[in-house]
Amino acid sequence: MLGRIFTVGGYTLLSRVTGLARDIMLAAFLGAGPIADAFYVAWRLPNNFRAIFAEGAFNTAFIPAYAHVHGKGGETSARLFADRIFTLLFLSQVVLLVVAWLFMPQVIRILAPGFADDSEQRRLAIELTRITFPYLLLVSLVTLYGGILNALDRFAAAGYIFAVCTNKLEWLSKKLLDELGLSRRFAAICGADTFGVSKPDPAILRQTLARANGDLKSAVMVGDAGTDVGVARRAGIPVIGVEFGYTEVPIAELKPDRLIGHMRELPGAVDSLLLEASSA
């Protein structure tokens, strides 16, 4: 537990140190004059749109919708849905990029009216923003899948072990995860046919943990259905419910130990459960 705390804390401290180094370098190269002001305006504009098209409202809406389509129509329908959303997002970003390029002088006049008194500073802000704005296109597409993968990477770096315990067939689960490029992230992938039992029988969870070389005392179940909550309760481990699954019963009604609405909330939920267990 302490090792994981120091790992996460160490990386957080490292990010603060590198951020300070970045700010020192920017101050050394740009100073605190009109050039720095123009740069920071160019830096902030795409990041403001990023809050809408990337980690913000769009990504929060996409994951539950994708999970719903996957649950109702299977992998083929989900892949088609994701491809269409990807194409729609790409085209919308291209249109936004073209409009921004064409009307950047007007945009800068609205967002930085103080630059009107300095034509050179205004020209520099327009040029720099036209350079930085395409970043929005790239980051918006990447963050469609980044929330889940970033959560998994953070856990892996902290020494956590992942395992899949499902009532679906093992070979089918492995094929799906292979197609998504996720199989290598899991120490064990077990289905109802692996051990001849299925959730909520706690035997499938215990044997999945054993195959993954995990420890029942420090395990956490993450799921979206009554069988997930049931198997965790019977095995005596805490459970985190996800609101973007496809269960017919709202996960909140099943009273999991923690409830999350986005994968970015998972690390904090796991850390709080483990800390609570260690202090009990």
Region 202-216: what's the mean pLDDT?
91
pLDDT in tens, 18-33: 888 988 888 888 777 7
Cβ(163)–Cβ(186) under 8 Å? yes
Write down the pLDDT at residue 120.
82
Cβ(270)–Cβ(257) under 8 Å? no
Taking the chain, what is the end-to-end CA distance rounded to the nearest angstrom?
14
Cβ(73)–Cβ(160) under 8 Å? no
This model's pTM is above 0.85: no
Write down the pLDDT at residue 203.
94
pLDDT at residue 233 is higher than 80 = yes
Write down the pLDDT at residue 144.
61
As a whole number of angstroms, the distance between CA 112 and CA 240 comes to 45
The 3-state DSSP class for residue 163 equals: strand
What does CATH list as the number for 147-279?
3.40.50.1000
pLDDT at residue 75 is higher than 60 = no
Write down the pLDDT at residue 107.
80
Write down the pLDDT at residue 231.
92
Write down the pLDDT at residue 26.
80
**What are the sequence ranges of the domains in the chain?**
29-145, 147-279
Tokens 């990029």 — which residue?
A: 97
Q: How many CB atoms lie within 10 A of CB 64?
A: 16
- By DSSP bridging, strand 163-165 and strand 188-190 are parallel
